[in-house]
Structure 1
Amino acid sequence: MSDFNKKIIEKIKEENIEPYPKWYFLFKSFLVWMGVALALLLGSVASGIAIFQIRHTDWDLYQYLDRGFLEFVIIMLPYFWLVFLIAVTGVAYYYFRHTERGYRFSVMAVIAAGILVTAAGGSVLYQSGLSEKLETLFEEKIPFYRGVNDHKRMIWMSPEQGLLAGEITKILSNHRIQLKDLDGKIWEIDVANTRWRGRWTYAEGQKIKIIGKMQAEGKFIAEEIRPWQRRGKHGGMYRFRSKGKNRRFQP
């Protein structure tokens, strides 16, 4: 036995050093893998909501604004979730490198695998509708998150340029509705010759987006109305039909 090994053994005896039990290493490994799994789960949530926002952004709106398409794309990208996705991918990489065999893999291989896993998880969340539900939940319950998306909502607050959004507060007649816009202002909307985008049912309290013309102060002529947020295919002409207290659309 070398002198170096003897010194180590003597030091262990002098300081009464005892080896960690096996369960300690198993528990530590469990915590590390839990960190990897949690980071990938959060990354999947970020990916799913980013996919939902990108797929359901009104990309055709740039033609109504004084911006080019590229500038509009830059404004509308879901930066919050993209940055969050990068952050949790970094966390997943950090924890994976601390697993028993994580050091054997290259940085690029680990990052690429993390991106693929979160993208696949995000796609599953989007297809199942969970990403839409999470987006709605965050919008309703987290004031900070509403602030993150304010710039996107405010694009619809350009009545002089033909864009308006808000909540239906009253059905005035078969051809008129009352709307409270995102700033709380009340509008009377003419919907006599409106194209209703998509198959959906409206009622008081429904949030909508309108493309049309500002007729006068507080009056707007709607050429097309879209639901504020929805899944599924768009298209179709719709008109009012009276049914009880509320009205519905039918083809």
Structure 2
Amino acid sequence: MMRISDDAVSPRARWVFVSRDVTFWTLWGGAVLIGSAALAASAFATEHAGWEFYEATHRNMITFIVTVLPYLWIGILAGTVLFGYFNLRHTKTGYRYSLTIVMIMSIGGSFVGGAILYGIGAGSTIEVMVGERIPFHTSVVRLQEELWDDADEGRLIGSASAPLTEETILFTDTNGTKWTLYTAGLSPKDLDALARFEEVRVIGYQATTSDDVFYACIILPGFLPHEQNSISDMLGRRSAFLERVRPESEIKDPAMRSNECERVRVRILQK
């Protein structure tokens, strides 16, 4: 009692401790929610990274991963887990939990929330919205456009429209550039993909005589909606891609066989 009197210690109302407890729990919940959003966006970015066709854009899987890894979301997820741990340990009962339990609660909460957000399609909204507003974060949609909209490297991404001749169609890339796309070197599977998908990736080579003429050798699906990106779908596209880049997958008609397309396939296989 003398120490209380000497130190001028005064009791605090119960609501002070309750409100502080509620504040820390709320901050922990907010951290888990932000972590959930980061996880949902990371899942969407990973799902649409184009790993099925990585040989067409990169020398190996390592350089591909370095390019497409969602660093922003990984950093946010790690930060929210640590922030959540700090706040949970400062609640009334938080001191009772070990570091392992607190981390499991924080990470587990983010995974559950992330799965829900991803399941309802919020991952794409978060990823695209943040990519449009934060200069140092390139959304997976824009990244795919940057990787594939490179005619000098033999790649285009966009949509086909009106046929121009029996062997050419009008093709518009994601930057709005119009191309005359030669299709004589395409296999039946490629022609089917060109007609079936609204957006396609094109592997081929640019004409040396004109800046707006592109010879197509392989057609791959472009940016697909979430419901067409199950693991089995992606494995199927991976298998189809590897089949098409093999030299023997070239059109069997010798009159239509393209030596340039053969070289394009060999270049991809040799990466």
TM-score bracket for this pair, using the shorter chain length: 0.7 to 0.9
Residues 177, 191 of structure 1: 8 Å contact kept: no
Counterparts of residues 1-251 of structure 1 (less than 5 Å): 6-11=1-6, 15=8, 17-140=9-132, 142-144=133-135, 147=138, 152-166=144-158, 168=159, 171-173=161-163, 176-182=169-175, 185-190=177-182, 193=186, 194-196=191-193, 202=198, 208-216=199-207, 217-222=211-216, 223-233=218-228
Q: Any idea what the Cα deviations from partners look like across 1:107-137, whole Å, max 9, x if unmatched?
A: 1221122112211211111111111222233
CA contact (8 A) 2:156 2:173 kept: no
111-120 vs 47-56, greater mean Cα deviation: 111-120
Identity percentage of aligned residues: 23
Which has the higher relative contact order, 1 or 2, with Cα contacts under 8 A spaced 6 or more apart? 2
Q: CA RMSD in A?
A: 3.1
1:131-167 deviation line (CA, Å, top 9, x unaligned)? 1222233344x1526546565542213324432224x
Q: Aligned partners of 2:194, 2:61: CA distance in 1, in Å? A: 22
**Post-superposition shift, 1:171?**
3.2
2:151 and 2:206 in contact (8 A); partners too? no
Q: Which amino acid aligns with 2:161?
A: I
2:16 is paired with a residue whose SS is: helix
Secondary structure of 2:226's partner?
coil
* d(CA) in 1 for partners of 2:204, 2:87: 55
How far residue 21 of structure 1 moved from its aligned partner, in angstroms, is 1.5
TM-score, normalised to structure 2's length?
Answer: 0.68
Q: Deviation at 1:188?
A: 3.1
1:144 alignment partner, SS class: coil
Paired residues, number: 219
Rounded to whole Å, the distance in 2 between the matches of 1:173 and 1:81 is: 42
One-letter amino acid of the structure 2 residue matched with residue 171 of structure 1: S
Structure 2 spans left out of the alignment, 5+ residues: 238-271
TM-score by length of 1: 0.73
Which 5+ residue runs of structure 1 have no aligned equivalent?
Answer: 1-5, 203-207, 237-251
Q: Which structure dedicates a bigger proportion of its chain to strand?
A: 1
Quote how far apart the aligned CAs of 1:215 are.
4.0
Distance 2:53 2:95 in 1: 48
1: CA distance, partners of 2:59 / 2:107: 32
Structure 1 pair 9–62 and aligned structure 2 pair: CA distance change class (3 A): closer
Kindly indicate whether the alpha-carbon contact (under 8 Å) linking 1:165 and 1:210 is maintained by their aligned counterparts in 2. Answer: yes
Whether the aligned pair in 2 keeps the contact of 1:76 and 1:152 (CA below 8 Å) is no
1:211 aligned partner, one-letter code: V
